[in-house]
Homo-oligomer: A and B are copies of this chain.
C-alpha cells in the first residue's frame, strides 16, 4: 500500500468536502482542537448542550468524544450525541483522557464504549490499558510499562472497536490487521492536548473514508508529520504549539510523502 498517496487523497477529500466534525471535548484543548480542525480544512463545531447535541451530531460527518474534563451532564450529552451519530452512521471517535486516574473516568469511558457504537478508541498505553485492567496513569500521563500492542489487542478484543495506542510509535489495531505509525516528535509530549489533537485528527480522517483502521493510521501519520516539521530547529513548546497549527495548515502544499505507516 502507498500510504503517503492515500494520506494525500484523504487530505484532498477533506479540503473538497469540508466535513463537519462535532466535538464534545475538554476545556483545556478546545481552542487548539478547533484550530487543528480548520487547519486540516475541515469544519469544527463544539456543541455540548443536551438540547442540541443530537441534532448537531446527526448533521456531522464525524463525532469526537473526549472525557478530559468530564462532568455527569457531559456524559449525558455524549450519549445523546453518540446515539444520533450511530443512527446516521456518523463515525464516533472516543478519547478516554485520564482513564485509570480516577474511577469516574474509567467507568465513564467504559459506559460510553458499552452504550455507543464507537468506531475508534484512542489513548496512551496507560489509558487504554486501564480500560482492560492493566494500565497505570498519573493524571493524564501513562507511567507503566505496558506493551502498546498487547494493550491495543486486548482492547480490540474486548470492545470490538478499532484501537489506536499512541506513543513513540502508534499502534492501530482493527479488522484489517495492525498498522504502525512512526511519525511524530517528542515535543508533542511537551504541550498539553497533543493526544486530544491526535484524536481530533482521527475524527477528521474518518469523516472522509470508510476503513477506520486505515483512516486512523493516516490521520496519525499526517498529524505526526506536521509535528516533525513544526519541531525543526527545536523550538520551545510555546512556539512549537503555534507552528504545529501552521504546519497542519501547510500539509496540502508541503505534501505528505513523509508519512510512515507500515503493516505491523
B236 touches A250 (CB 8 A): yes
Which chain B residue has the least Cβ–Cβ distance from A194? B38
A45 touches B139 (CB 8 A): yes
Instruction: Kindly list chain B residues whose C-beta atoms are within 8 Å of the C-beta of A102.
Output: 47, 51-52, 55-56
* Cβ-based interface call for A15 (8 A): no
B72 touches A191 (CB 8 A): no
Inter-chain CA distance A15–B72, complex, in Å, is 34
A42-70, CB < 8 A from B: 43-49, 51-52, 55-56, 59-60, 68-70
Inter-chain CA distance A105–B35, complex, in Å, is 22
Which of A21-29, A109-117, A147-155, A208-216 lies on the face that meets chain B? Answer: A21-29
* A61: min CB distance to chain B, Å: 10
Inter-chain CA distance A15–B55, complex, in Å, is 44
Inter-chain CA distance A139–B68, complex, in Å, is 22
User: Quick one: given A51-B104, A102-B56, are A43 and B139 in contact (CB under 8 Å)?
Assistant: yes
Inter-chain CA distance A70–B56, complex, in Å, is 13
Chain A contact surface mostly: mixed
Which of A5-13, A159-167, A169-177, A238-246 lies on the face that meets chain B? Answer: A238-246
Inter-chain CA distance A237–B241, complex, in Å, is 11
Contact of A192 among B31, B47, B241 (CB under 8 A): B31
B249 touches A35 (CB 8 A): no
A241 touches B238 (CB 8 A): yes
Inter-chain CA distance A56–B141, complex, in Å, is 13
B69 touches A48 (CB 8 A): yes
A35 touches B138 (CB 8 A): no
A117-148, CB < 8 A from B: 138-141
Which chain B residue has the least Cβ–Cβ distance from A247? B236
The digit string for A207-244, where 1 denotes a CB below 8 A from any CB of B, is 00000000000000000000000000001111101111
* Cβ-based interface call for A201 (8 A): no
Instruction: Kindly list chain B residues whose C-beta atoms are within 8 Å of the C-beta of A22.
Output: 139
* A77: min CB distance to chain B, Å: 9
* Cβ-based interface call for A255 (8 A): no
14 additional A-B pairs beyond A20-B138, A43-B139, A190-B249, beta carbons within 8 Å, are A28-B31, A31-B32, A31-B192, A34-B192, A35-B238, A43-B138, A46-B68, A46-B69, A48-B69, A52-B104, A60-B139, A235-B246, A236-B250, A239-B246
